[in-house]
Amino acid sequence: MLGHALVKELCNAGYKNLLTAGRNQVDLVDKDAVFDFFAQNRPEYVFLAAGKVGGIASNKACPADYLHVNLAIQDNIFEAACKFDVKNVVFYGSSCSYPKFCEQPIKEDYFLTGVIEPTSEGYAAAKIAGIIACRAYNHQYGNRRFIALLPNSMYGAFDNFDLASSHVLSALMRRLHEAKINKTENIELWGSGNVRREFIFSEDVARASIFAIDNVERMENSHYNVGSSVDYSIKELAEKIAKIVGYKGKISWDTAKPDGTARKLLDSSRFLKLGWEPEISFEEGLTVTYDWFKENYFKIVNK
């Protein structure tokens, strides 16, 4: 999802010499494969949009996979970037790297001040390590090569709509779409629906990433939150998606299922003060995402 958005926005900004590395081209968990790729291609700038991501159910079931895969990818890319003198690497952290019971909105200073959410512990630990690694490499080598951005929950075209591993927004969009086409009168969703989440459109994150590289000399050796500064309850999210999808049935909630952290709203004021701001409204972003999902529905379900 983010990779596609980055390519689109880089092209819109006039960049032409773009190099992509899909999972079928390079196994980023394999250090030798990563080093070979960097040696052959000598990239100047790297956006590390690769990683293993998923929702609550997948994180709970496979925490070791989330920890190992993300740590391996990060370490291999960071080492290769140093060895082959990459100018800048943009690394993407996660809001789940912050403590579970954080004061809201979450400031960068709250990093490592409490216990993280257990349901995403493996993934969060890897992202925490990546954020620290960016600071450590910059400090040790006296540069600003590594830029750590923490976007909140991303969504957009090319999102993961697999019900077993997707995040809440894409999972809701698929379930409500299928409830509509199957004429399901009642749909039951996980949790209470009361927890709140902030969402940011993938193309806004892509533009933030390009902005960060253009302004790296103005940035501190620290991570930066990147969000929309607005959050919604999961009930509100479901209602918004139902309206866009056209589902008119009843939505009920299975409160026996986990909610996760009660609220995750980022304070993005430090990054906003540099001059970046999101451009896409939530309703517009949801509509674009649903249009893409409908066009690609049969490819998604037959994957």
Distance (Å) of CA 31 to CA 26, 36, 49, 75:
10, 9, 17, 9
pLDDT at 136 over 90: yes
Q: Alpha carbon of 179 to those of 124, 184, 196, 236, 290: distances in Å? A: 32, 5, 24, 18, 14
pLDDT tens for 36-54 read 999 999 999 999 999 998 7
Please report which residue ranges of the chain form alpha helices under DSSP H: 2-12, 31-41, 56-61, 63-83, 121-141, 168-181, 202-214, 234-245, 269-272, 282-295, 297-301
- Mean pLDDT in the chain? 95
Write the pLDDT tens digit of every residue in 94-108. 998 999 888 999 999
Q: What is the dihedral of CA 117, 123, 127, 129, to 10 degrees?
A: 90
Q: Which helix (H) or strand (E) holds 201?
A: strand 196-201
* pLDDT digit string, tens, across residues 235-278: 999 999 999 999 999 999 999 887 877 889 999 999 999 999 99
Question: Residue 37's Cα: distance from chain center in Å?
Answer: 24
Q: Note the pLDDT of residue 135.
A: 97
Strand partners, 154: 200
CATH number for the domain whose boundaries are 2-160+199-230+264-282: 3.40.50.720
CA 8 → CA 3, 48, 150, 193, 285, distances in Å?
9, 16, 20, 34, 15
Give me the residue label for tokens 């983010």.
Answer: 2
Question: In this predicted structure, what is the pLDDT of residue 21?
Answer: 87
Q: Are strands 231-233 and 196-201 parallel, antiparallel or unpaired?
A: antiparallel
Closest CA to 146 of 207, 225, 206, 220: 220
CB 238 within 8 A of CB 189: yes
Distance, in Å, from the CA atom of 206 to the CA atom of 293, rounded to the nearest integer, reads 20
The model carries a pTM of 0.94
Rounded alpha-carbon distances, angstroms, from residue 143 to 57, 81, 156, 197, 255:
39, 13, 33, 34, 49
> What integer pLDDT is reported at residue 165 of this predicted model?
80
- The residues that are catalytic are 123
The residue that leads in pLDDT, 118 or 7, is: 7
| 212 has pLDDT over 80 | yes
